Structure 1
């Protein structure tokens, strides 16, 4: 099963060129949120009232999740979700891109613009890269039920500003359908989404996104 952070990465980048659809800060915060959601779902961490802490350091997690757990264990005095979103956002995009590259989903390419060179992770297969968008967009437009993973991903798209892309041209009522579904999400995950939206909003106000 694809990991949340992998799917958000694909959602936040063009399915052909690999170019970002959001500012890197918003992408980083979205990916950090997805990593925390992965850990919560695995029962590795607990989330309550804007705080997050390690619940089971031995819970199943991939290398990125284990690295996040080690950071949280090393600094137990920091429990604010916003703190961990900020910390994890600094490295999340790079690490998730590498995870996808190792899985053969994207490949790194150097792109030069003026005097600067940067790495863009280009999808190996357009259909694979477009699947998170196609799946969520179709189910939401059909007013269908979403499982918890897809519902969190759709909520994350809304909190980071990707919903306008996801629901472009949708019939009236789809926004309300999504809002109704999000109300059924487990409280800790709703809390995580709210904290993510606030962090993205602050980044925008401060000119960082």
Structure 2
């Protein structure tokens, strides 16, 4: 399971491919998911000083390799976690979508308005596969079942980007408490990444409101 792919699925409608998040939250969330993949593979760690490289061996996945290359090239500059999230957010959603496209999981569909193309949607090829992360995660949390690391990391990204309200629609307060208590037990580099993800999205929303 690629965490970025499953977050992308979680953040888009499993039939239409339309985003479930506003653009900034989606983009920052996808950037965080790519960094989270490198945390999971033990290539990097994240703390309040920045993103720390622990393993320079290139990952097999080409997109993870690309992200790691960016980090290695800028290692001496010690950019903040927020800076990296902002940087990767510019292309992360498209890069993950293209990885899914290469794997045959989505197809590109143009969005048209008044006869003109205004964007692209990446529509799932297999609705069941697209719905899997949402269905599995929602059921596990609603049943208050322990989450494996990958599910827990995905749940953390849902909380950081504001998706948990939709994921657990109509759930009792105790279920949200369970989710947050589980996410709090993630590996420290991941909890740190999620904290910065939430902050970067919040700052972007505030900036937009004050324009």
What residue in structure 1 maps to residue 144 of structure 2?
143
Shift of 1:49: 2.3
**Is contact 2:31–2:92 with CA below 8 Å preserved after alignment?**
yes
Report the counterpart of residue 88 of structure 1 in structure 2.
88
Q: What is the alpha-carbon distance in structure 2 between the residues aligned to residue 91 and residue 153 of structure 1?
A: 20
Aligned residue for 2:17, secondary structure, equals: coil
1: distance between equivalents of 2:49 and 2:194?
10
Q: CA separation in 2, counterparts of 1:151 and 1:10?
A: 16
How big is the alpha-carbon RMSD for the aligned residues of Structure 1 and Structure 2?
1.4
Aligned pair in 2 of structure 1 residues 141, 25: CA closer, same or farther (>3 Å)? same
TM-score with structure 2 setting the length: 0.93
> 1:102 corresponds to which residue?
102
Q: Following the alignment from structure 1 to structure 2, what is the Cα–Cα distance between the partners of residues 172 and 52?
A: 34
Tell me, which stretches of 5 or more residues in structure 2 are unaligned? none
Tell me the number of residue pairs that the alignment of Structure 1 and Structure 2 aligns.
207
> In 1, are the aligned partners of 2:110 and 2:117 still within 8 Å (CA)?
no
Q: Shift in Å at residue 53 of structure 1? A: 2.3
Give SS of 2:123's match: strand
TM-score by length of structure 1 reads 0.94
Deviations 1:122-172 (CA, angstroms, capped at 9, x unpaired): 011111111000000000000000011111111111111111110001123
In the TM superposition, residue 109 of structure 1 has moved relative to its aligned partner by: 0.5
- Alignment-derived partner of residue 169 in structure 1: 170
Answering whether residue 46 of structure 2 is matched by residue 72 of structure 1, we say no
Distance 1:53 1:69 in 2: 11
